[in-house]
C-alpha cells in the first residue's frame, strides 16, 4: 500500500478526532468522546507505520500542517468559525511549506 495513503488516513483520523472535541463537552459526552479518542489512537497508529518508511520530520510536518489546514477549513464550515484574510494567507503558507518539505525531502 502506498505510504502516503496511510499518512492521509492518519491526517483524516486526527482531523475527525479534533472536530469531535467541541461535541465532547469536556469529555462529558460519551459517544463523541469515545470516537474522538479512538480516532486519535488510530491516527497515531497509522503515523507509527509511516515513520517506518519516511523520515519523521516529513511525516510530522505533513500530519501537523495538513491537519491544521483541514481543521481550520472544516471549523469554518461546520462550526461557523471566522477566517480573516491573514489566517487564510497563513493557512496557504502552511500548505506551501508541506509541499516544499515533501518535494525536497531527499535533497540536502
Q: Please, which residues have CB within 8 angstroms of residue 33's CB and are 6 or more apart in sequence?
A: 20, 24, 27
What is the number of structural domains in the chain? Answer: 1
Give tens-digit pLDDT for 24-78: 999 999 999 999 999 999 999 999 999 999 999 899 999 999 999 999 999 999 9
Q: What pLDDT shows up at residue 107?
A: 61
Phi, psi (rounded to 5 degrees) for 89: -60, -45
Whether 11 and 63 have beta carbons less than 8 Å apart is answered as yes
Does 108 map to a domain? Answer: no
Give tens-digit pLDDT for 8-27: 999 999 999 999 999 999 99
Angle at 16 between CA 12 and CA 22, to 5 degrees: 155
Q: Range of 8's domain?
A: 3-103
Q: What pLDDT shows up at residue 50?
A: 97
Angle at 23 between CA 22 and CA 28, to 5 degrees: 100
Q: What pLDDT shows up at residue 21?
A: 97
51 vs 49: CA distance, rounded Å: 6
User: Grid coordinates in use for 66?
Assistant: 495538513
Q: What pLDDT shows up at residue 94?
A: 94
Does 64 map to a domain? Answer: yes
Amino acid at each position: 500500500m502506498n505510504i502516503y495513503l496511510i499518512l492521509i488516513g492518519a491526517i483524516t483520523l486526527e482531523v475527525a478526532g479534533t472536530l469531535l472535541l467541541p461535541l465532547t463537552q469536556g469529555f462529558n459526552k460519551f459517544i463523541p468522546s469515545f470516537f474522538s479518542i479512538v480516532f486519535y489512537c488510530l491516527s497515531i497508529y497509522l503515523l507509527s507505520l509511516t515513520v517506518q518508511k519516511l523520515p519523521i520530520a516529513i511525516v510530522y510536518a505533513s500530519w501537523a500542517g495538513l491537519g491544521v489546514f483541514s481543521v481550520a477549513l472544516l471549523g469554518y464550515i461546520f462550526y461557523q468559525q471566522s477566517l480573516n484574510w491573514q489566517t487564510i494567507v497563513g493557512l496557504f503558507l502552511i500548505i506551501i511549506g508541506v509541499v516544499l518539505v515533501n518535494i525536497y525531502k531527499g535533497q540536502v
